[in-house]
Amino acid sequence: MTEETLLDRALVRLDQAASHLQIDPDVIEKLKYPRETIKVRLLIRMDDGSRKSFLAWRCRYDDTRGPTKGGIRFHPDAAVEEVETLAFWMTFKCAVMNLPYGGGKGAVRVDPRQLSKAELERVSRSYMQAFAHVIGPDRDIPAPDVYTNAMIMGWMADEYYQLAGQVRPAVITGKPISLGGSLGRDDATARGGFYLLRHLAGELGLGSEMRVAVQGFGNAGQFIAKLLAAEGHKIVAVSDSSGAIHAPGGLDVEALIARKRAGQPVTAMANEAGVQSIAPDALLGVHCDVLVPAALEDMITKDNADAIKAKVVLELANGPVTADADAILEKKGIVVLPDILANAGGVTVSYFEWVQNRQGYYWDLEEVHQRLLKTMEREGRAVWNISRERGTSVRTAAYIHALSRLANAIEEHGTQSYFIS
C-alpha cells in the first residue's frame, strides 16, 4: 500500500467541498493533479571556491482563473510534495479572495542560515535563471515565503530583467518598496488575519481584551502580535524554532521584536520578570482566547490538538492543522479560521502590487489598507455565511466558496454534457 502524501491529505478538503456542490466531474479531474512541476539542481559556487548543488522546484498547479501565483520557500526540508500541496492551497486561496490568479509555489532545499549573504544572492539569482522560462507577469508570479524576503525578491526580479532585457516589475511581488514593491506588503498576511478576526469577533464570542498565543515568530507571527498588542490585546505566549515562552500577564511585544531583529531567539526573554520558558508543544495548551499558528504545516496534530484551550485558531501558517486534528477541534467547539482565508492578506496585497506595477501608478498606504480591509471583510463574511447556512466548518465553507468559483471557470470551457449533446 502506498503511503498517503501531504497532497493526498490536502485533496480530502476538495472532496469534502465537492460533496456540497453540484459540479461536473471534469472539475475534480482538473483540480486533483498539479498541471506542471519542474525540478532542477542549482549549482552554486560557494565562498570557499567549492561547488554545491541544491534541489529546487517550481509548481504551477492550476491556471484556469489566471496566471499562477505563489511564494518561494528556502528550507532544508523542502520537498516536491510540499511544493505541490502549497500550490494547491494557493489555487484555492486566490479563488476564495476572487483574485484573478491560479496557484503556484516554489522552493529550494537549502538552509539559508548556513549561507553567507553572497551565497544567498547566488542561490536566489540561480533560481530565477533556472525557472525564468516558466515565470512571467502573465504566466507565473512568485513572492516571498518561509525564509525568503524582500531583498531576495529584489535579486530575483533583477535577474529576470537581465534575462528579459527589460524591466518588468510585475514578474514578482514582495519586492522592496524602492524597487516597485507595494506599501503595506510587509505586514499584509498578519493584517489580513487581524481584519478578519476583528470583523467576526462578535460571532466568535471574542471580547475586547483577548489573550493570544502565537506559534512561530517570523514575518506573520511578529506582525500579528504587534497589531493585536496595539489594540490592547495580550500576547501571552510565543515560540520560534528555538523554543517557547509564556507570560500570563502579557509579553512586551516591541521588546521581543527588537530582540528578534537583533538575531536573538524568543527564548532569550525567558529570564525576564513574568516570562518563563516552556516546552514548544506546551504553547498550544496555554490559557488563551486565540491561538495563532504562524510557523509551518502539520504543527497541530491528533497528538496535541486535545490540549488546545483557545476559542479560535487563526491559521496564518499554511496547513498548520492536520485533518485529524481539525476533527478534534471541531468536536471541542473550537472555530478554525482556515489558512486559505485567514492568511490570504499576503497574496491580496501581492495582487495589489502586481496591479500597481502594471499600471505604473502607486497607491498610498491608506488605500492599500482600505482595499485589503474591504476584501477580507467581503470574502470573510461570504465564507462565514456559507458555514452557517450549510452547517459546515469555516474551512469547508472556504473550500466550497473557492470551488464554486473554480468550477464556474472550468465549466465555461465546456463539460461532457456540452461535448456529447
Dihedral sign for Cα 218, 219, 224, 230, please. Answer: positive
Catalytic amino acids?
A: 105
Q: Are 164 and 332 in contact (CB under 8 A)?
A: no
Q: Which is nearer to ligand NAD, 241 or 385 (CB)?
A: 241
Q: Which is nearer to ligand NAD, 241 or 416 (CB)?
A: 241
Which residue from 2, 5, 72 is spatially nearest to 33, judged by alpha carbons?
5
Considering only 94, 146, 376, 402, the residue that binds ligand NAD (CB under 6 A) is: 146
Q: Which is nearer to ligand NAD, 27 or 228 (CB)?
A: 228
| Nearest distance from C-beta of residue 127 to ligand NAD, angstroms | 17
Q: Are 209 and 232 in contact (CB under 8 A)?
A: yes
Considering only 196, 237, 295, 407, the residue that binds ligand NAD (CB under 6 A) is: 295
At 204, which helix (H) or strand (E)? helix 188-204
Of how many residues is the chain composed?
Answer: 421
List, in sequence order, the alpha helices (H) in 32-149.
Answer: 80-96, 117-131
DSSP 182: P
Considering only 126, 267, 318, 396, the residue that binds ligand NAD (CB under 6 A) is: 318
The identity of residue 249, as a single letter, is G
Contact letters (x/-) for ligand NAD, 42-71, by CB under 6 A?
------------------------------
Give the count of residues interacting with ligand NAD (CB under 6 A).
Answer: 24
Asked if 316 is part of the footprint of ligand NAD (rule: CB under 6 A), the reply reads: yes
Pairing of strands 290-293, 211-215: parallel
Stretch of residues binding ligand NAD (CB under 6 A), selected from 4-12, 105-113, 144-152, 159-167: 144-152
How far, CA to CA in Å, does 242 sit from each of 58, 248, 266?
29, 20, 7
Which residue from 77, 72, 155 is spatially nearest to 121, judged by alpha carbons?
155
Q: Are 380 and 397 in contact (CB under 8 A)?
A: no
| Nearest distance from C-beta of residue 148 to ligand NAD, angstroms | 8
Q: Which is nearer to ligand NAD, 119 or 145 (CB)?
A: 145
| Nearest distance from C-beta of residue 365 to ligand NAD, angstroms | 17
Pairing of strands 312-314, 140-144: unpaired
- Residue numbers 333-362 binding ligand NAD by CB under 6 A: 343, 346
Asked if 104 is part of the footprint of ligand NAD (rule: CB under 6 A), the reply reads: no
Q: Which is nearer to ligand NAD, 191 or 410 (CB)?
A: 191
Binding site for ligand NAD (CB under 6 A): 144-147, 189, 215-221, 239-241, 280, 294-296, 316-318, 343, 346
